[in-house]
Chains A and B, each alone.
Chain A
Amino acid sequence: QVQLQESGPGLVGPSETLSLTCTVSGDSVSSSSNYWSWIRQSPEKGLEWIGYIYYIGTTKYNPSLRSRVTMSVDTSNNQFSLRLSSVTAADMAVYYCARGYGVFDQWGQGTLVTVSS
C-alpha cells in the first residue's frame, strides 16, 4: 500500500521560504515509472499543481510559480521536497504531495501552511 506523508513547518513568515518534505512508503521515489508532484489547495485559488520531480532530478514547474519553486529528491530516504520562496498570504494553502504527473493516483493527507508574522 502506497502512502505519502507531508511534513514541515505549518507557519511561515511573509517573504520567507516555505519548505516541505514528502516521505513515501510502499513505493520508491527512485522508480523510473513515477513522477512525484506537489499540489496545493486554497479557498481562493482552488487546486493548483505546483510541479513535479523525477528520480534523476528532472523537474517541471507550473509557469505561474516557476520563478519561486525548487524541488529536490532524496533517494536514500525515499523523500522528495518542495521549497517556495518569497511567500505571501496568497501562498497560504493545504499542500499535498502526490504520485504522478498529469494523473495523480496517490496523495498525501495534506498539510496546512499559514503565512503570518
Chain B
Amino acid sequence: DTQMTQSPSTLSASVGDRVTITCRASQTISSWLAWYQQKPGKAPKLLIYRASTLESGVPSRFTGSGSGTEFTLTISSLQPDDFATYYCQEYNSESQTFGQGTKLEIK
C-alpha cells in the first residue's frame, strides 16, 4: 500500500498569507496526485489533479507542484473562504489512498 503523509497536521495563518502544505508518498506515484478542500459538514471539493492541474472554477491562488514522492499545495494569498481542511490523494495504487488532512486555521 502507498501511504500518504501530510504536514503539518494543523496550520495557523492570517488572511493574505502565503501557505504551503506538503504531501509525501511512501513510494513513487509519478504525478497521480489530487488535492481536495473540505469544510465542516460538507463533502470534499476537488482543487487540483495530476499534481498541478487546476480544476475548473478553482481560484488561481491555489497551486500544486511536485512529482514522484513529494508534493506541495500552495495558496498564494489566503482568503477567508480558504480556512478548511485539505487532503491529498494518490491515484497510482489500487487503494487510491488519502492523506490524513491538514487543517488550516485562522491565526
Chain A residues in the interface with B (C-beta under 8 A)? 46-49, 60, 62-64, 96, 98, 101-105, 107-110
Chain A interface secondary structure, helix, strand, loop or mixed? loop
Q: Which residues of B contact A (CB under 8 A)?
A: 32, 34, 36, 42-46, 49-50, 55, 87, 89, 91, 94-101
Contact A48 B94 (CB under 8 A): no
Q: Determine the chain A residues whose CB is within 8 A of the CB of B98 once the complex forms.
A: 46-49
Question: What is the bound-complex CA distance between A98 and B38, given in angstroms?
Answer: 14
Q: Is the CB of B96 within 8 A of A62?
A: yes
Which residue of chain A lies nearest to B98 when distances are taken between CB atoms in the complex?
A: A47
Task: Find out whether the CB atom of A107 lies under 8 angstroms from the CB atom of B44.
Answer: yes
Residue of A nearest to B97 (CB): A49
On chain B, the residues within 8 Å of A105 by CB distance are 46, 55
13 A-B pairs in the complex with CB atoms less than 8 angstroms apart: A46-B98, A47-B101, A49-B97, A63-B94, A96-B44, A98-B43, A102-B96, A103-B91, A105-B46, A105-B55, A107-B43, A107-B44, A108-B43
